Amino acid sequence: MLFLTLLQASSAVADTANKAAAAGATEHVSAPVLEIMTKGGVVMALLAFSLLLAIYFIVERYIYVSKRAAIDSNLINVVKDSLKENRPDSALAYCDRTPTAQAQVIATGLRFLGSNMREIESAMETKASVELSAMESNLHYLSLIARVAPMLGFVGTIWGVINIFYSISTTNDLSIGAISGGLYTKMVASFAGLLVGIIAFLGYQLYVRKIDRFAERLQEQSLNLMEILVKSHL
Q: What is the pLDDT of residues 66-79, one digit of tens each?
A: 999 998 888 988 88
pLDDT band at 17; cut points 50, 70, 90: very low
CB 185 within 8 A of CB 200: no
In terms of Cβ atoms closer than 10 Å to its own Cβ (0-12, 13-18, 19+), residue 85 is: exposed
Task: Look at 114 and 169; give whichever has higher pLDDT.
Answer: 114
Asked whether the CA dihedral 48, 54, 57, 60 is positive or negative, the reply is: negative
The yes-or-no verdict on residue 207 having pLDDT over 70 is yes
Angle between helices 176-232 and 101-111 (to 10 degrees): 30
Over residues 18-46, mean pLDDT: 57
Please state which of the ranges 33-37, 145-149, 199-203 shows the lowest mean pLDDT: 33-37
Over residues 199-219, mean pLDDT: 95
Nearest to 146 by CA among 53, 42, 36, 8: 53
Percent of the chain predicted with pLDDT > 90: 42
Over residues 41-64, mean pLDDT: 91
Q: What pLDDT shows up at residue 160?
A: 75
Q: What pLDDT shows up at residue 185?
A: 66
CB atoms within 10 A of CB 155: 16
Which residues lie below 8 Å from residue 51, measured CB to CB, with a gap of 6+? 196, 199
